[in-house]
């Protein structure tokens, strides 16, 4: 299958955006970009350092710039950060470039996947209850995606299969 449009994976931390994105790009024989990695390279600082030194608003500015300025000359699979839809305009940028794919998971799944993470500042700064509220608050924005794929109890391969078959079926 030849990929005609850029694919953007959105979803909460722990949804599997980076792992799925890497394998998806391989399956589609196209490029993969992890937006957080672009930000780290551009700023020369880790995500933790950016949040600690400059705060979340600054991170969101850099995130929007990174999204807007990616190299879109060839079809690319982009793993975005979990907060990408915090800025309303980012959904418009994504839609103008390609397809938004939401990787969904229940709170229980997400919590199990992220509870030992140390490189996610949002998790260091908030209580579990606050992270859970954030998870709930973000669902409405994620669900506006062009394609929603549930990842609970799925391997990375299974999620990639679902996405590829949805694209092939034109869903
Ligand atoms: C964030 C998610 C992170 C990263 C940053 C903020 C968020 O990406 O962009 O720590 O606000 O949910 P992952 O979803 O890849 O962990």
Contacts of 12 by beta carbon, 8 Å cutoff, 6+ apart: 82, 105, 110, 135, 138, 142
Map out the domains of the chain as residue ranges: 6-160
Identify whether the C-beta of residue 121 lies closer than 8 Å to the C-beta of residue 26. no
Ligand 1 mean position, distance from CA 1 (Å): 30
Give pLDDT tens digits along the chain (171 positions).
777 899 999 999 999 999 999 999 999 999 999 999 999 999 999 999 999 999 999 999 999 999 999 999 999 999 999 999 999 999 999 999 999 999 999 999 999 999 888 889 999 999 999 999 999 999 999 999 999 999 999 999 999 999 999 999 886
CA-closest candidate to residue 51, choices 63, 33, 38: 63
CATH 3.40.50.300 fits 6-160, yes or no: yes
CB of 122 shorter than 6 A to ligand 1 = yes
pLDDT of 14: 95
């Amino acid at each position: 299958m030849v990929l005609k449009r850029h694919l953007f994976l959105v979803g909460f931390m722990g949804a599997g955006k980076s792992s799925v994105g890497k394998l998806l790009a391989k399956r589609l024989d196209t490029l993969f970009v992890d937006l957080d990695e672009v930000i780290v390279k551009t700023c020369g600082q880790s995500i933790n350092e950016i949040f600690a030194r400059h705060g979340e608003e600054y991170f969101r500015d850099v995130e929007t710039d990174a999204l807007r300025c990616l190299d879109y000359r060839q079809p690319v699979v982009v793993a975005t950060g979990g907060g990408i839809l915090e800025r309303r305009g980012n959904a418009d940028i994504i839609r103008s470039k390609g397809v938004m794919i939401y990787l969904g998971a229940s709170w229980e799944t997400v919590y199990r996947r992220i509870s030992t993470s140390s490189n996610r500042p949002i998790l260091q700064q908030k209580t579990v209850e606050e992270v859970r509220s954030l998870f709930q608050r973000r669902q409405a924005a994620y669900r506006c995606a062009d394609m929603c794929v549930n990842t609970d109890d799925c391997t990375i391969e299974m999620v990639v299969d679902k996405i590829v078959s949805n694209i092939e079926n034109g869903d």
